[in-house]
Amino acid sequence: MTENTLIAYKYDLNNYTEFIYNALGISNINSIKKSHIEQFATSVDKHILTNQTLKIKKSSSVHRLYSTIRGFHQYLCHLRIAKRNPAQLLIPPRLTKNIPVTLLVEEINKIIESVNMKKKYA
């Protein structure tokens, strides 16, 4: 794992725990519900739209955020700090897929026409 990835996970986890504690007033890890996590995700989505400086802009970053939260709760369950994992059934939004850039028929024809077929290795 790269240093930048670790920094991103730490950033996500800090935002999540601050939201749970400050915005929702939850101090007991066992009081966190799936709906609280969804509230956090919604607040992040709204923040993306209103604040261009927020780092979570790409859908892959949003997926990393969900992964961070799931892993955090799984770890707390593993250590028996938490009794259950509220993030277990959390479903992240679908990743957006980039449409590949394609050439126009005219562009392909120009490329074909530009090849000198009289040369030996053309």
pLDDT digits (tens, 9 = 90+) for 90-113: 887 776 677 788 888 999 889 888
Per-residue confidence (pLDDT) for residue 98, from 0 to 100: 73
Assigned domain for 112 exists:
no
Per-residue confidence (pLDDT) for residue 7, from 0 to 100: 92
**Angle of helix 34-50 relative to helix 59-78, nearest 10 degrees?**
150
Assigned domain for 103 exists:
no
CATH code, domain with 38: 1.10.150
pLDDT digits (tens, 9 = 90+) for 60-84: 778 888 999 999 999 999 999 999 9
Assigned domain for 40 exists:
yes
Q: How is residue 16 written in tokens?
A: 């999540």
Per-residue confidence (pLDDT) for residue 57, from 0 to 100: 57
Angle at 45 between CA 25 and CA 86, to 5 degrees: 50
Per-residue confidence (pLDDT) for residue 55, from 0 to 100: 47
Per-residue confidence (pLDDT) for residue 117, from 0 to 100: 75
Domain count, the chain: 1
Assigned domain for 110 exists:
no
Assigned domain for 101 exists:
no
Assigned domain for 17 exists:
yes
| DSSP reduced 3-state for 106 | helix
Question: What gap in Å lies between CA 21 and CA 8, rounded to an integer?
Answer: 20
Which residues form the domain of 41? Answer: 3-94
